[in-house]
Structure 1
Amino acid sequence: MLNTWLTSRFDLDLPLVGAPMAGVSDGRLAGAVSAAGGLGMFGAPPAASASWIEEQAVVAAASGRPYGVGLMAWAVPDNPAQLDAVIAARPNLVSISFGSYAEYVEPLRQAGITVTTQVGTTDEARAAEQAGVDVIVARGAEGGGHGRNDVATLPLLQSVLDAVSVPVLAAGGIATARGLAAVLAAGAQGAWVGTAFLGCVETTVSEPAKERILAAGEDDTAYGRVFDVAQRLGWPVEYGGRALRNAFFDRWTGREQELAGDETARAELEAARRAGDFDTAYVYAGQAVGMVSRGRTAADVVADFAAAENLLRRCGILDVS
């Protein structure tokens, strides 16, 4: 049994969190990860309503196991009902990241909710500890979706573990039991995993997008702000996104200032999203996407991560008696 702060805090079978991938993970995936013994999360898109959060929370909680919700700090001021809905739902864990989040930490903790934030540098980790979060997610540049591109997971994890005293989870590029074993051996209290779940039947990913994911290799992602700029989203500039590289990205990368004023390109992207044309539309994924090669259930993915225990025993890191 892999016992860590994470498993003890939430009574989990495995020190594994399903990342709150907005637009990919709703209550169904979160609930499936939790039912399988990890801690599943769903992410609230910027424009998601309070009622949507309430509905997804009910689905996620149906297994009777702990679950979590992810909020984007930059979006909350324009949609404060999201925070109210999350507090009312009382999930076990809330991640609030990517923007000015400090003012939300104490209200969440006062509601009895464990609070985390994702950091991409050691300075961000120090600031998170000062802000009072219960646990920090050290998210490396390999990760899919949004975050910093400054430091890779392993050097970031080592530095953050030395810099803070609160528990630390590792994120970015962790897709198998080997990755989980590696970060646990380094001192992380668990892994925060997104891309490994992209091929699961419980995601909201469309079939054409899933086909792209399952066919992608480890070098088929690219990092940048192209898709955010094209959609006129308010992401802070330091948090770009890692997605599958496509023709639209290649055409506009390095030309983001021009893209910001090009309404034709904006309409082109929106039309492609509706049509499922992923030569133009985006599919967010991390560098571990090359290890996602077949459709599975969330329970299958979680079960495969459980092999980390045997790997650690073989290395003499866990007592074999």
Structure 2
Amino acid sequence: MNHSFLSSTFGTQYPILNAPMAGAASGQLAAAVSRAGGMGMVGVGASTTAGWIERELGVPAQSGHAWGVGVMAWALQDRMDPLHQILEYNPSLVSVSFGDPVPALKLVQASGAKTAVQIGNQDELRQALELGVDIIVVRGAEGGGHGRNDVGTLPLLQLALEATDRPVLAAGGIATARGVAAALAAGAAGVWVGTRFTTAQESIMAGPLKDRIASADADATIYTRTFDIAQQLNWPARYGGRAISNAFAEEWTGHEEELAQLVRGDSDMAERMGDARGNADVAMAPVYAGQAAGLTVSGQTAGEIVEELAGYRAVLKAAASWL
């Protein structure tokens, strides 16, 4: 794969994108990543309001740099209004993932923006290739937040690179210059980094949640659907979420049907989880992060993170001595 795809298409200096994490990837974060030479992405959640979209997307739209947006296909199933509003801001790239992407992709393609889809197994890879998306994002099971728990990043990246000449971005478990170098050396056109950016100063994630991620070890995460069940969110069952393990997840993971029955008979459960999220109660609320949490540093700006990740060039130069 031509590693110049991102620079020639979007004008980036580095093949680095922040993942469009709802609840973390704000307009400020996206603009900062783009200014630093990467490509910033804004995460639009299922309950995002028109006012939020206007406020947040206006920031990168006025930055003078390429930027993008990530949306969830299942959240657009009944209403496309958020996507219509998003496209009014002329993003360079729109990622449509987690559910049936076809209706949203048609709108994005008609707008002229480039399209991306996150895939988590071989079936999703086949579908993305059949749909003709511009960029394939291989999101391995190590990744934080929602996605598949089927295949690790490296095997999935190799599968995709063997299957297509389209640009492939590697996501899941990448948090350092060495990780970026490994993905690029394998043939990825770039990297899609999530957890490392959750603790950036420009991230809108609550402070106690950032602190919990920064203090976590690499083995501190759990893959679970318990948080979605408790909040009665309509995430498709095949997409759980990787988060820092806490008391709530440990109690209910493996007992999802019991939890669902409890929620159906307890109208206060969703409210209590909502309160926990609002109060940043890390013992109950989800703190979505991947296995790279142990490599995350607290308090950096997005620009500083991009600069550190851009050290991949020195890593690749040193590795070339083996040739």
Please give the TM-score of this superposition, normalised by the length of structure 1. 0.95
Tell me the residue number matched to 2:273.
269
Q: Distance in 1 between matches of 2:201 and 2:185?
A: 31
Moved more, 85-94 or 112-121: 85-94
Q: Distance in 1 between matches of 2:118 and 2:250?
A: 28
Tell me the residue number matched to 1:84.
84
1:236 partner SS: coil
Tell me the residue number matched to 1:301.
305
Q: Distance in 1 between matches of 2:163 and 2:41?
A: 27
Moved more, 98-107 or 243-252: 98-107
Q: What amino acid is aligned across from residue 29 of structure 2 in structure 1?
A: L
Structure 1 unmatched ranges of 5 or more: none
Q: What amino acid is aligned across from residue 60 of structure 2 in structure 1?
A: A
Tell me the residue number matched to 1:166.
166
Contact 1:141 1:150 in 2 (8 A): yes
Q: Distance in 2 between matches of 1:168 and 1:317?
A: 26
- 1:235-254 equivalences under 5 Å are 235-254=235-254
Moved more, 199-208 or 50-59: 50-59
How far the C-alpha of 1:275 sits from its partner, in A, is: 2.3
1:57 pairs with 2:57 = yes
Contact 2:61 2:89 in 1 (8 A): no
Contact 1:16 1:193 in 2 (8 A): yes
Q: Distance in 2 between matches of 1:160 and 1:123?
A: 11
- 1:57-206 equivalences under 5 Å are 57-206=57-206
1:188-212 Cα shifts (integer Å, max 9, x gaps): 0000001011111101111111111
Q: Distance in 1 between matches of 2:211 and 2:249?
A: 19
Identity of aligned residues (%): 48
Structure 2 unmatched ranges of 5 or more: none
Contact 1:122 1:163 in 2 (8 A): no
1:107 partner SS: helix
Please give the TM-score of this superposition, normalised by the length of structure 2. 0.95
Contact 1:199 1:294 in 2 (8 A): yes
Q: Distance in 1 between matches of 2:47 and 2:198?
A: 22
Contact 1:94 1:113 in 2 (8 A): yes
Q: Distance in 2 between matches of 1:50 and 1:206?
A: 22
> For the aligned residues, what is the CA RMSD?
1.7
1:215-261 Cα shifts (integer Å, max 9, x gaps): 11101110010001110111111110000000000111111112123
